[in-house]
Amino acid sequence: MDIYNYNKGFELLKNRINIKDLEKIEYDREVILAGWIINIKNIGNISFIILRDQTGDVQITIKKDIFNDLEFIKEFSLHTFIVVKGKYVKGIAKKYKEVVAEEIYLISEPADRLPIDENSYFEKRMNYRWIDLRDPKKSLIIKLTSYAVKYIREYLYNNNFIEIFSPKIISTASEGGAEVFELKYFDRKAYLAQSPQFYKQMAICSGFERVFEIAPAFRAEPSFTSRHLTEFTSFDVEIGYISSHYDVMKVLEEIIKYTNKKIKENFEDEINKYYNVDIFVPENIPKINMEDVYEIVGKNNIKENGDITSEGEKILGDYVKKSYDNEFVFIIDWPWTARPFYHMKGEPMKNGIITTKSFDLLYKGLEISTGSQREHRYKILLEQIKEKGLNPDNFKYYLEFFKYGAPTMGGFGFGIARYIKQLLNIENVKEAVLIPRDPNRLEP
Amino acid sequence: MDIYNYNKGFELLKNRINIKDLEKIEYDREVILAGWIINIKNIGNISFIILRDQTGDVQITIKKDIFNDLEFIKEFSLHTFIVVKGKYVKGIAKKYKEVVAEEIYLISEPADRLPIDENSYFEKRMNYRWIDLRDPKKSLIIKLTSYAVKYIREYLYNNNFIEIFSPKIISTASEGGAEVFELKYFDRKAYLAQSPQFYKQMAICSGFERVFEIAPAFRAEPSFTSRHLTEFTSFDVEIGYISSHYDVMKVLEEIIKYTNKKIKENFEDEINKYYNVDIFVPENIPKINMEDVYEIVGKNNIKENGDITSEGEKILGDYVKKSYDNEFVFIIDWPWTARPFYHMKGEPMKNGIITTKSFDLLYKGLEISTGSQREHRYKILLEQIKEKGLNPDNFKYYLEFFKYGAPTMGGFGFGIARYIKQLLNIENVKEAVLIPRDPNRLEP
């Protein structure tokens, strides 16, 4: 047997099964498994390998009386990728199922020693993200992200939404100009979309009644917090023919209920294995007026423009946990000074402050979504742009969408990674994406 | 009644139904509808409006004996958006269901006359894409795109794939440097990903066994053909633990079968209404070696590097239609000279030409997908980079993925818009995306 006979290895892969599927196999049957070597032990005439694939670990026992010569094991090191044909036996090892090897071929051998282990510091782990993710605790985050968006889409398709794919290269900076990446587009300048805001609204003006998009969005923000990324997956919804922002919150509430319920049903055991967290499924999500939020978080946590601080968000999260036994809360009716020009104005606060028909959704004291009813009347929209001190010329194309009749509309943006971070109580949002981007991190 | 009382209009929207849902309603019931006015006729004491929403058109009859004064109708023009409360009656109009209006409010009025109609030329229609899409023939394309990706994902989730979200801002130009958009990333240069190729392979090196991504990809190609876009939605699959590229084609074949079948089942009537096309559901997809393809398309359609011309693709499409009664065909085992460095080499042709374990999928004579088994062995990959005359330093991060053990892998990229274009026999791929981008078109 030549372990370097790759073609024999490729051939074996035709009938390879997942390590987890050994559960369904009878003892003494022949099986073919493949994976990374994550441990090797040599004891004279016998060697033990722990082999890992996405579904689990298994012990491969290599006996001299089968292979005659165990010299070839010297070619193996940690994370060598091999394929093994052997007999599934009722072993004596408690922790692992056991397969006694009959044939082994290399699929690919490491060209260097492993540069990280589980104790490596964060930035180094991120430099070797693909090795970092071989740890099932880490890969579960990526898998849950995939399933969270699956459930979100399920809810949306079941409720007559269609998915749109809007351009990410745009001619003008979408929400005012700051914090936008600039690029060279043939002989002119262009920008990367900070959100699909304008285009999802355009879709509603096109006659689609309920649309969503799950796609990358870009922010040239020089932030190094545990909750910011320069590129992130934005989940965006826009709904036409609405009566007010309450119609939008209803949809978002239903999405949260559906998604958390599905995740709990399908992943509770796996989550409990690696994360000490219960998945909370809300029956409903309380709504608190910004006016009342100010009372709860206190003066020190109110910013000049009427927004609240991230410390204020945490205080409110605790308050809602205590008073409503809920991990979610909508902060509604934000002051006009804290919202963009396209939010529709609402009823004033008791003290006369102008509000908008808007909301934020907090999950365990962190904002994961922002939404509103949009101003869809051309003349009022134009007024609001001017009122914000913005130049209408910069919003020429956006304004055009509303020039030829438009339905009422409202929607929200929702950060997938922030949601996953809060779901699993992960400290840094960068752990919740496949390959994070921040001002310093452009690799791998 | 003041038609400008927006708040009353918003209030009515709470109980608004779709125009199509009139089917389910008894005559003489009160209904609330909303939509764009697409036709107005005034005949003395009576006016007729054709109102359109996403689900259909309806005739709104406005009688003087109900409103006393019909002066307010002068405020309406084409594409004014209104909400109507009225009685659903058994009308005499053949083409439309009829509602006799009792209350009407403006939701938003046009600020200008409609700039396009269905006869406007292509570029002008694209400038006012949101009005263009109010035509149900056009919006069906966008809806089918949404459902095509829904069915694709359904197949993939049912077959243990997970969805990944890979970065679009990258540090090095992914496939060699040409035709890539450059951007300013804080104080350094970065690029927009031409495909998620390297990252989907990284995901396999991370231990995920089957991954996919549906996301924007960017090509700075100064092409003005009917099949090129500078930004497009790329559907990408990567599968680990494969035995050869045949495993990859099997998955792609199943996806095509599943998706075309679902589209036929659910949208045949709608498609027939607007497009004169039968949806073909293949039982299987024939495979033709590049060696044999050369014979079929003839010398004039073979490019210098061993690729075939787009005219050659059409000839092959016709050939497959005639010989196999199939709209799909895999061209397999492409010459090494026509494929990128990361394709795995295969058996040589009879005349000794080196091939790759690769394929293209043609649909009605147009390439809609390209795939292969990838070279996953670090040393061979390094050799192949050099053999292509490329600088390994430019692929440093990519090479790293293979340095610490890797499974076999293969996958494909698939152009969603091209697929939809071929499905419906649309002439220009730009009609198959919400908002197209080409070297001149950066707006809206």
Domain ranges of chain A: 6-108, 127-432
Q: Does A418 belong to an annotated binding site? A: yes
Identify which of A81, A139, A143 has the shortest CB distance to residue B407. Answer: A81
DSSP-derived secondary structure letter, B306: S
Q: What's the pLDDT score for residue B223?
A: 82
Q: What's the pLDDT score for residue B172?
A: 82
pLDDT(B33) > 70 = yes
Identify which of B13, B108, B203 has the shortest CB distance to residue A378. Answer: B108
Q: Count other C-beta atoms under 10 Å from residue B123's C-beta.
A: 10
Specify the pairing of strand A231-240 against strand A169-170: unpaired
Q: What's the pLDDT score for residue A174?
A: 54
If pLDDT is split at 50, 70 and 90, which confidence band does B177 have? low
pLDDT(B176) > 70 = no
Pick the CATH number of A127-432 from 1.10.1060.10, 1.10.630.10, 3.30.930.10, 3.40.50.12240: 3.30.930.10
Around A412, how many Cα atoms within 13 Å sit in the side-chain half-sphere?
25
- Whether A216 sits inside 8 A of B215 (CB atoms) is yes
Residue type, B387: E
Kindly report the nearest CA distance between residue A158 and chain B, in angstroms: 11
Q: Does B367 belong to an annotated binding site? A: yes
pLDDT(B175) > 70 = no
| Nearest in space to A16 (alpha carbons), one of A104, A91, A96, A83 | A83
- Collect the ranges in chain A with pLDDT lower than 70: 174-177
Whether domain B126-432 has CATH 3.40.50.300: no
If pLDDT is split at 50, 70 and 90, which confidence band does B1 have? confident
CA distances B408 to A15, B244, B374, Å, are 14, 8, 7
Angle made by CA atoms A271, A276, A280, in degrees to the nearest 5: 70
pLDDT(B173) > 80 = no
For residues A365 and A372, what is the distance between their CA atoms, to the nearest angstrom?
20
- From chain A, the residues in CB contact with B202 under 8 A are 129-130, 435, 444
Please list, in sequence order, all residues whose beta carbon lies within 8 angstroms of the beta carbon of residue A61, skipping any fewer than 6 positions away: A46, A47, A48, A89, A91, A98, A99, A100, A101
- Whether A404 sits inside 8 A of B110 (CB atoms) is yes
- Whether A181 sits inside 8 A of B166 (CB atoms) is no
pLDDT tens per residue, range B198-241: 999 999 999 999 999 999 999 998 888 888 899 999 999 999 99
Size of interface A-B (CB pairs under 8 A): 287
> Tokens 């998915």, residue?
A163
CATH class, range B6-108: mainly beta
Residue type, B308: I
Kindly report the nearest CA distance between residue B79 and chain A, in angstroms: 5
Concatenated DSSP letters of A21-32 = GGGGSPTT-EEE
Rg for chain A (alpha carbons), in Å?
27
Kindly report the nearest CA distance between residue A295 and chain B, in angstroms: 30
pLDDT tens per residue, range A62-110: 999 999 899 999 999 999 999 999 999 998 878 999 999 999 999 999 9
Can you list the positions of beta strands (E) in B172-209?
182-185, 188-192
pLDDT(B363) > 80 = yes
Q: What's the pLDDT score for residue B174?
A: 54
Q: What's the pLDDT score for residue B400?
A: 96
> What would the mean pLDDT of B350-377 be, rounded to a whole number?
97
Q: What's the pLDDT score for residue B357?
A: 98
